[in-house]
Amino acid sequence: MKLTINEHVEMLQVPGIRQFSNKLIHFPDAVNLTIGQPDFSTPEAVKLAGIKAIENNQTGYSHNAGLLELRQAVSSFFNWKYGFSYEAENEIVITNGASEGIDSVFRTILSPGDEVILPTPLYLGYEPIINICGAKVVYLDTTDTEFRPSPERLESLITSKTKAILFNFPSNPTGVTIEKERMNELVAVLEKYQLFIISDEIYSENTFSGEHVSFAQYEVLRNRLFLIHGLSKSHSMTGWRIGYVLGPANFMETVLKVHLYNSVCASVPSQHAGIVALNECRHTPTEMNVEYMKRRDFVYDRLRGMGLDVVKPNGAFYIFPSIKKYGIDSFSFATKLLEEGGVAAVPGSAFTEYGEGYLRISYAYAMPVLEKGMDRLEKFLQRL
Check which CATH number belongs to the domain holding 218 and give it. 3.40.640.10
Residues 19 and 67 in one domain: no
Q: Are residues 106 and 124 in the same domain?
A: yes
Summarised one tens digit per residue, pLDDT across range 121-174 is 999 899 999 999 999 999 999 999 999 999 999 999 999 999 999 999 999 999
Q: Output the pLDDT for position 15.
A: 63
- Both 227 and 348 in a single domain? no
- Cα 212 to Cα 14, 124, 147, 315, 328, distances in angstroms: 32, 23, 16, 9, 36
> Which of 236, 256, 280 is the C-terminal boundary of a domain?
280
Strands (E), the chain: 31-32, 92-96, 115-120, 136-141, 162-168, 196-200, 225-230, 242-246, 318-319, 343-344, 346-347, 359-362
Share of the chain above pLDDT 70, in %: 97
Q: How many residues does the chain have?
A: 384
Does residue 43 have a cis peptide bond before it, meaning omega lies within 30 degrees of 0? no
Domain that residue 340 falls in: 7-42+284-383
pLDDT at 27 over 80: yes
Lowest mean pLDDT among 19-33, 252-266, 309-323, 329-343: 19-33
Q: Are 253 and 366 in the same domain?
A: no
Residue 19 CA neighbour count, 13 Å, CB half = 15
Residue 18: the pLDDT is 63
Q: Are 308 and 201 in contact (CB under 8 A)?
A: no
pLDDT grade, residue 16 (50/70/90)? low
- The count of structural domains within the chain is 2
Answer whether residue 249 is part of any domain.
yes
User: Of 250, 280, 310, which closes a domain?
Assistant: 280
Check whether residue 292 and residue 272 sit in a common domain. no
pLDDT band at 256 (very low <50, low <70, confident <90, very high): very high
Phi and psi (nearest 5°) for 262? -80, -45
Q: Does residue 2 form part of some domain?
A: no
DSSP assignment letter at 249: H
Does residue 360 sit in the same domain as residue 337?
A: yes
Instruction: Select from 227, 259, 280 the last residue of a domain.
Output: 280
> Rounded to whole angstroms, how far apart are CA atoms 365 and 369?
6
Question: Do residues 244 and 207 both lie within one domain?
Answer: yes
For residue 163, tell me if it sits in a domain: yes
The pLDDT-based confidence of 28 (bands split at 50, 70, 90) is: confident
What integer pLDDT is reported at residue 24 of this predicted model?
A: 75
Both 98 and 198 in one domain: the answer is: yes
Could you tell me if 75 and 157 lie in one domain?
yes
